[in-house]
Amino acid sequence: MRIDVVSIFPEYLEGLKLSLIGKAAEQGLLDLNVHDLRDFTFDRHNTVDDSPYGGGAGMVMKAEPWALALEHILGEGPRGASASVGDHDGEKPKPILIVPSPAGRVFDQRVAEDLAGAEHLVFACGRYEGIDQRVIDWAGEHFDLRPMSIGDYVLNGGEVASMAMIEAVSRLVPGVIGNPESLTEESHEDGLLEYPIYTKPASWRQRDVPEVLLSGNHGAIARWRRDRRLERTAEVRPDLIAKLGELDKHDRAVLE
Protein backbone atom coordinates (compact mmCIF):
# COMPACT_ATOMS: atom_id res chain seq x y z
CA MET A 1 0.00 0.00 0.00
CA ARG A 2 1.25 3.47 -0.85
CA ILE A 3 0.50 6.27 1.63
CA ASP A 4 1.22 9.95 0.98
CA VAL A 5 0.77 12.63 3.62
CA VAL A 6 0.85 16.38 2.92
CA SER A 7 1.42 18.72 5.85
CA ILE A 8 3.10 21.98 6.79
CA PHE A 9 4.63 20.05 9.72
CA PRO A 10 6.19 16.96 8.15
CA GLU A 11 8.14 16.40 11.40
CA TYR A 12 4.87 15.43 13.07
CA LEU A 13 4.74 12.31 10.95
CA GLU A 14 8.20 11.13 12.06
CA GLY A 15 6.49 8.89 14.61
CA LEU A 16 5.32 6.68 11.76
CA LYS A 17 8.91 5.53 11.36
CA LEU A 18 8.74 3.81 14.76
CA SER A 19 7.51 0.40 15.85
CA LEU A 20 5.39 -1.87 13.65
CA ILE A 21 4.44 0.74 11.05
CA GLY A 22 8.08 1.81 10.66
CA LYS A 23 9.15 -1.81 10.33
CA ALA A 24 6.44 -2.45 7.72
CA ALA A 25 7.72 0.55 5.76
CA GLU A 26 11.29 -0.77 5.99
CA GLN A 27 10.12 -4.15 4.72
CA GLY A 28 8.32 -2.54 1.79
CA LEU A 29 4.81 -3.53 2.94
CA LEU A 30 4.01 0.17 3.18
CA ASP A 31 5.38 2.88 0.91
CA LEU A 32 5.14 5.92 3.20
CA ASN A 33 5.82 9.40 1.78
CA VAL A 34 5.52 12.69 3.64
CA HIS A 35 5.39 15.95 1.66
CA ASP A 36 5.91 19.49 2.94
CA LEU A 37 3.11 21.69 1.58
CA ARG A 38 5.48 24.67 1.64
CA ASP A 39 7.56 22.99 -1.08
CA PHE A 40 4.65 23.84 -3.38
CA THR A 41 4.76 27.60 -2.75
CA PHE A 42 6.85 30.09 -4.72
CA ASP A 43 6.80 33.32 -2.72
CA ARG A 44 9.52 34.47 -0.35
CA HIS A 45 7.53 33.54 2.76
CA ASN A 46 6.22 30.20 1.48
CA THR A 47 2.70 31.37 2.18
CA VAL A 48 0.04 28.66 2.57
CA ASP A 49 -2.80 30.67 4.17
CA ASP A 50 -4.80 33.85 3.85
CA SER A 51 -7.76 35.57 5.50
CA PRO A 52 -11.25 34.12 4.94
CA TYR A 53 -13.63 35.65 2.41
CA GLY A 54 -16.74 36.82 4.25
CA GLY A 55 -14.71 37.73 7.33
CA GLY A 56 -14.33 35.86 10.58
CA ALA A 57 -11.51 34.70 12.81
CA GLY A 58 -8.58 32.56 11.72
CA MET A 59 -6.91 31.85 8.41
CA VAL A 60 -7.76 29.56 5.51
CA MET A 61 -5.30 27.37 3.60
CA LYS A 62 -4.88 28.57 0.02
CA ALA A 63 -6.02 26.37 -2.88
CA GLU A 64 -2.96 26.56 -5.16
CA PRO A 65 -0.26 24.95 -2.97
CA TRP A 66 -2.69 22.11 -2.23
CA ALA A 67 -3.49 21.61 -5.92
CA LEU A 68 0.22 21.53 -6.80
CA ALA A 69 1.03 19.08 -4.01
CA LEU A 70 -1.83 16.77 -4.99
CA GLU A 71 -0.94 17.01 -8.69
CA HIS A 72 2.63 16.10 -7.77
CA ILE A 73 1.37 12.98 -5.98
CA LEU A 74 -0.94 12.08 -8.88
CA GLY A 75 1.90 12.58 -11.34
CA GLU A 76 4.14 10.17 -9.46
CA GLY A 77 1.49 7.45 -9.70
CA PRO A 78 1.55 4.21 -7.74
CA ARG A 79 4.95 2.62 -7.25
CA GLY A 80 6.45 -0.74 -6.50
CA ALA A 81 4.97 -4.19 -6.48
CA SER A 82 1.47 -2.98 -5.59
CA ALA A 83 1.23 -0.89 -8.76
CA SER A 84 -1.01 -3.34 -10.56
CA VAL A 85 -3.33 -4.19 -7.64
CA GLY A 86 -6.90 -3.29 -8.60
CA ASP A 87 -5.86 -2.48 -12.16
CA HIS A 88 -8.70 -4.29 -13.91
CA ASP A 89 -8.86 -4.00 -17.68
CA GLY A 90 -6.59 -0.96 -17.53
CA GLU A 91 -9.01 0.90 -15.24
CA LYS A 92 -7.09 2.06 -12.22
CA PRO A 93 -8.99 3.00 -9.07
CA LYS A 94 -8.49 6.65 -8.15
CA PRO A 95 -6.24 7.18 -5.11
CA ILE A 96 -8.31 7.75 -1.98
CA LEU A 97 -7.88 11.28 -0.64
CA ILE A 98 -8.63 11.53 3.06
CA VAL A 99 -9.19 15.07 4.25
CA PRO A 100 -9.21 15.02 8.06
CA SER A 101 -11.94 17.34 9.28
CA PRO A 102 -14.24 17.52 12.31
CA ALA A 103 -16.96 18.01 9.68
CA GLY A 104 -16.20 14.66 8.03
CA ARG A 105 -17.74 11.21 8.37
CA VAL A 106 -16.61 9.57 11.62
CA PHE A 107 -13.70 7.16 11.15
CA ASP A 108 -14.23 3.77 12.81
CA GLN A 109 -12.98 0.19 12.56
CA ARG A 110 -15.29 -0.56 9.61
CA VAL A 111 -13.80 2.38 7.67
CA ALA A 112 -10.30 1.20 8.64
CA GLU A 113 -11.09 -2.29 7.29
CA ASP A 114 -12.40 -0.80 4.06
CA LEU A 115 -9.34 1.44 3.60
CA ALA A 116 -6.93 -1.43 4.38
CA GLY A 117 -7.79 -2.92 0.98
CA ALA A 118 -6.84 0.25 -0.91
CA GLU A 119 -3.80 0.57 -3.11
CA HIS A 120 -3.07 4.25 -2.52
CA LEU A 121 -4.15 6.57 0.31
CA VAL A 122 -3.39 10.29 0.43
CA PHE A 123 -3.88 12.35 3.60
CA ALA A 124 -4.26 16.14 3.35
CA CYS A 125 -3.50 17.62 6.77
CA GLY A 126 -5.31 20.92 7.18
CA ARG A 127 -4.31 23.61 9.68
CA TYR A 128 -5.84 26.92 10.78
CA GLU A 129 -9.57 26.97 9.90
CA GLY A 130 -9.09 24.37 7.18
CA ILE A 131 -8.60 24.28 3.40
CA ASP A 132 -10.23 26.43 0.67
CA GLN A 133 -13.30 24.41 -0.38
CA ARG A 134 -12.59 24.89 -4.09
CA VAL A 135 -9.46 22.74 -4.05
CA ILE A 136 -11.32 20.04 -2.15
CA ASP A 137 -14.07 20.12 -4.81
CA TRP A 138 -11.40 20.04 -7.53
CA ALA A 139 -9.65 17.12 -5.86
CA GLY A 140 -12.95 15.22 -5.89
CA GLU A 141 -12.57 14.97 -9.67
CA HIS A 142 -9.16 13.30 -9.44
CA PHE A 143 -9.35 11.35 -6.20
CA ASP A 144 -11.87 9.23 -4.35
CA LEU A 145 -12.55 11.99 -1.81
CA ARG A 146 -13.26 11.09 1.84
CA PRO A 147 -13.53 13.92 4.41
CA MET A 148 -12.99 12.04 7.67
CA SER A 149 -13.34 12.96 11.35
CA ILE A 150 -11.64 10.98 14.13
CA GLY A 151 -14.23 12.10 16.68
CA ASP A 152 -16.49 14.86 17.87
CA TYR A 153 -13.83 17.27 19.09
CA VAL A 154 -11.54 19.80 17.41
CA LEU A 155 -7.77 19.37 16.98
CA ASN A 156 -5.33 22.05 15.81
CA GLY A 157 -4.41 20.20 12.64
CA GLY A 158 -4.88 17.07 10.58
CA GLU A 159 -1.51 15.47 11.45
CA VAL A 160 -2.56 13.67 14.64
CA ALA A 161 -5.84 12.61 12.99
CA SER A 162 -3.95 11.27 9.95
CA MET A 163 -1.50 9.37 12.13
CA ALA A 164 -4.37 7.77 14.04
CA MET A 165 -6.04 6.70 10.79
CA ILE A 166 -2.78 5.52 9.20
CA GLU A 167 -1.99 3.40 12.24
CA ALA A 168 -5.50 1.89 12.40
CA VAL A 169 -5.47 1.09 8.65
CA SER A 170 -1.85 -0.09 8.34
CA ARG A 171 -2.09 -2.66 11.11
CA LEU A 172 -4.84 -4.37 9.08
CA VAL A 173 -2.60 -4.65 5.99
CA PRO A 174 -1.51 -8.31 5.76
CA GLY A 175 1.98 -8.81 7.17
CA VAL A 176 2.15 -5.60 9.23
CA ILE A 177 1.13 -7.32 12.49
CA GLY A 178 3.29 -10.44 12.93
CA ASN A 179 0.51 -12.62 14.37
CA PRO A 180 -2.77 -11.94 12.50
CA GLU A 181 -4.67 -13.74 15.29
CA SER A 182 -4.04 -10.75 17.54
CA LEU A 183 -6.39 -8.75 15.29
CA THR A 184 -9.34 -11.10 15.65
CA GLU A 185 -10.32 -10.65 19.30
CA GLU A 186 -9.82 -6.92 19.56
CA SER A 187 -12.25 -4.23 20.59
CA HIS A 188 -14.52 -3.20 17.69
CA GLU A 189 -13.58 -6.23 15.61
CA ASP A 190 -17.06 -7.75 16.02
CA GLY A 191 -18.93 -4.91 17.71
CA LEU A 192 -17.86 -5.74 21.28
CA LEU A 193 -15.07 -4.25 23.41
CA GLU A 194 -12.18 -6.46 24.51
CA TYR A 195 -12.22 -8.57 27.70
CA PRO A 196 -9.88 -7.68 30.61
CA ILE A 197 -6.36 -9.03 30.10
CA TYR A 198 -3.68 -10.20 32.57
CA THR A 199 -0.07 -11.40 32.60
CA LYS A 200 2.34 -12.87 35.19
CA PRO A 201 2.48 -12.96 38.17
CA ALA A 202 -0.81 -14.76 38.92
CA SER A 203 -1.08 -12.83 42.18
CA TRP A 204 -0.05 -9.18 42.43
CA ARG A 205 -0.58 -6.98 45.55
CA GLN A 206 -3.31 -9.31 46.81
CA ARG A 207 -5.07 -9.18 43.45
CA ASP A 208 -5.43 -12.55 41.75
CA VAL A 209 -5.89 -13.34 38.10
CA PRO A 210 -9.41 -14.83 37.60
CA GLU A 211 -9.07 -18.54 38.28
CA VAL A 212 -10.68 -19.65 35.04
CA LEU A 213 -7.76 -18.18 33.07
CA LEU A 214 -5.38 -20.56 34.89
CA SER A 215 -7.63 -23.59 34.36
CA GLY A 216 -6.51 -24.58 30.87
CA ASN A 217 -10.19 -25.14 30.02
CA HIS A 218 -10.40 -23.38 26.66
CA GLY A 219 -14.19 -23.56 26.42
CA ALA A 220 -14.63 -22.03 29.87
CA ILE A 221 -12.03 -19.34 29.09
CA ALA A 222 -13.77 -18.43 25.83
CA ARG A 223 -17.14 -18.22 27.60
CA TRP A 224 -15.67 -16.11 30.46
CA ARG A 225 -14.06 -13.75 27.95
CA ARG A 226 -17.25 -13.30 25.95
CA ASP A 227 -19.23 -12.65 29.14
CA ARG A 228 -16.77 -9.97 30.24
CA ARG A 229 -16.88 -8.40 26.75
CA LEU A 230 -20.67 -8.24 26.88
CA GLU A 231 -20.65 -6.75 30.40
CA ARG A 232 -17.95 -4.19 29.63
CA THR A 233 -19.61 -3.10 26.38
CA ALA A 234 -23.02 -2.79 28.07
CA GLU A 235 -21.47 -0.67 30.80
CA VAL A 236 -19.33 1.76 28.80
CA ARG A 237 -20.80 1.61 25.28
CA PRO A 238 -24.49 0.67 25.43
CA ASP A 239 -24.80 2.16 21.93
CA LEU A 240 -22.71 -0.76 20.61
CA ILE A 241 -24.93 -3.34 22.33
CA ALA A 242 -27.93 -1.82 20.58
CA LYS A 243 -26.21 -2.44 17.22
CA LEU A 244 -25.52 -6.15 17.84
CA GLY A 245 -27.64 -8.62 15.90
CA GLU A 246 -29.61 -11.50 17.37
CA LEU A 247 -28.05 -12.67 20.67
CA ASP A 248 -28.29 -16.23 22.01
CA LYS A 249 -29.91 -17.13 25.35
CA HIS A 250 -26.64 -17.10 27.28
CA ASP A 251 -25.60 -13.67 25.94
CA ARG A 252 -29.03 -12.26 26.78
CA ALA A 253 -28.78 -13.67 30.31
CA VAL A 254 -25.37 -11.98 30.81
CA LEU A 255 -26.84 -8.65 29.77
CA GLU A 256 -29.89 -8.89 32.06
On whether the CB atoms of residues 125 and 100 are closer than 8 A, the answer is yes
In the complex, minimum distance from the CB of residue 79 to ligand SAM, in angstroms, rounded to a whole number: 26
**CA angle at 229 for the pair 165 and 221, rounded to the nearest 5°:** 120
Map residues 124-163 to x or -, x wherever contact with ligand SAM holds by CB under 6 A: -xxx-xx------------------xxx-xxxxxx--x--
Listed in sequence order, the residues at least 6 apart from 63 whose beta carbon sits closer than 8 Å to its beta carbon are: 131, 132, 134, 135, 138
Q: Does 100 bind ligand SAM (CB under 6 A)?
A: yes
Q: Is 153 annotated as a binding residue?
A: yes
In the complex, minimum distance from the CB of residue 64 to ligand SAM, in angstroms, rounded to a whole number: 17
CA distances for 210 relative to 18, 42, 69, 203, 250, angstroms? 35, 64, 55, 10, 20
In the complex, minimum distance from the CB of residue 152 to ligand SAM, in angstroms, rounded to a whole number: 7
Q: Which of 10, 15, 93, 102 binds ligand SAM (CB under 6 A)?
A: 102
On whether the CB atoms of residues 95 and 74 are closer than 8 A, the answer is yes
Query: Using CB under 6 A, which of the segments 47-55, 98-106, 183-191, 209-217 binds ligand SAM?
Result: 98-106
In the complex, minimum distance from the CB of residue 117 to ligand SAM, in angstroms, rounded to a whole number: 22
Angstrom distance (rounded) from CA 70 to CA 208: 55
Q: Is 166 annotated as a binding residue?
A: no
Residues tagged in the binding site annotation: 126, 150-155
